[in-house]
A and B are shown apart, each in its own frame.
Chain A
Amino acid sequence: MNRRVLLATFEHEHDLLASAIELRKRNYAIVDAFTPYPVHGLDRALGLPPSRLTWVCFVCGMIGALGMLFFEYWVGAISWAVNVGGKPWHSLPSNVPVAFETAVLLAGFGSVFALFAVCRLFPGKQPSPLFERATDDQFVLLLDEADSRFDPSQVLSLLREFNVVDLEERIIKTGEIRKC
């Protein structure tokens, strides 16, 4: 599906931040924002829902810890019981360090690869920057023009207040912009 969007470019992060807050206050639909570096408070200004990555991390960590505890129990007490220093077959304290490491490993890998998957990132992927200077020194806000509430003249005057340096209309494929 194609979508008509308005690209508003800013020179400073606080202009982007303030305009995003103002636009959302007036119920305009912001598709996304592109910045060279993470801008503090932008997620709140865009009204993004809390990241679900934390849940991926937690579940992966739990799978790592509990899975490894069970595996160690199975190896040490059921499949091939070996007497180590006269300890009981199933010795929880000796199993904890490996379970801890596995929890950390799976939580880390799980969140990183989940992020890659959601963002469709993989080695060798050709970058196709929609707005090249957003990777360098400019801040870009994407507004949905197809939105029925979109009022061009009001938006323009509002953006001028925040020192917008460039405005551009583009038609983009929905697949090109993806929220992580």
Chain B
Amino acid sequence: MATDFVARGQDLELVEVRKEFPGFVAVESLDLKIPAGEFFALLGPSGCGKTTTLRMIAGLETPTSGKVLIGGKDVTDQKPHERPVNTVFQNYALFPHMTVLENVAFGLRQRKVDDPLPKATAALEMVELNHLASRRPQQLSGGQQQRVALARALVNRPALLLLDEPLGALDLKLRRQMQLELKDIQSEVGLTFLHVTHDQEEAMDMADTVAVMNHGRIEQMGAPEKLYDRPKTAFVAKFLGQSNLFVGEVTDKSSETISINFRGNKITAPNSRIEKSSGKVAIGVRPEKTEFHESKPAASSTQNVLGPGKITDIRFTGVSNQYQIEIPEIGEITVFAQNVGRSPVVELGAEVWVSWKVEHSFGLADLPTGEEDIE
């Protein structure tokens, strides 16, 4: 039913787009290409320039320089109402003086599409709200308003749908449900979605491709699994999930691996998973890839071992436990262990060693903030 009136999406291309506001640069020379039909997430902390980027694509801000292309056509100088783009706004921005149905029909009426009301009704059916068509938006719950906003955007068959943190105002349970629905609708109608969010779980959960943005530039872009498995910068390693990072001078290089000297300990990473192989290098590992042992594991070329240290904090998070381990001279390491009954029974203050497989290490292209100056 939905596919009856929604055309396929088109690809979006940003060419060296830059946006300056008085006193600061919001977006620095951004190059981005989103293929048609993809669910793309722009992920970053607040103030990273992601919303400004979205507003430039919608035409609500004019880039200082650079070009915006939709379906290969330059739309940089087009006004918002001339662009084949629709937005689901963060606060939904439903018109309070119109009924839900009139809200959804608004775009169709502006474009003089035939039968706006039946089409709007069909769009409301898609989000299962046709029984509320004659209500005013303010009589609806947050989740319902969000769905009206989605229907109001989707009904226009935009080449590109922009989502500006539309799930931010919803509670966790409703958010999960809307995430699933959004993803379903996207794959059903085959539109190009650009989703702007600061919620890394939401981005990884829903998007085909995630771009992590920081200080007005894209730090890294790729499939969520890839981004998580091999972050290339300290920011991505810390913003997308958690990471234990170790910084030291490279001491050994072989054809397979490199090792750094981290405060007297050797930490090794495979060459296939590093960005940089000389000078000072940051090597990291995800907390769920690390294990701890109550006796010292045998030294091995396939394992990194640190310790002994003391468990300083245990946090029970349901499916897993999060342990903080303080190792003298080394610092704090975070370890996740699943609660499957086989994890070592340890108490606060217990003495443990931490290990992980060399193949799980990743090397970063830059150093974490605060480490750059330490020689």
Are A and B a genuine interacting pair, yes or no? no
A residues in contact (CB < 8 Å) with B? none
B residues in contact (CB < 8 Å) with A? none
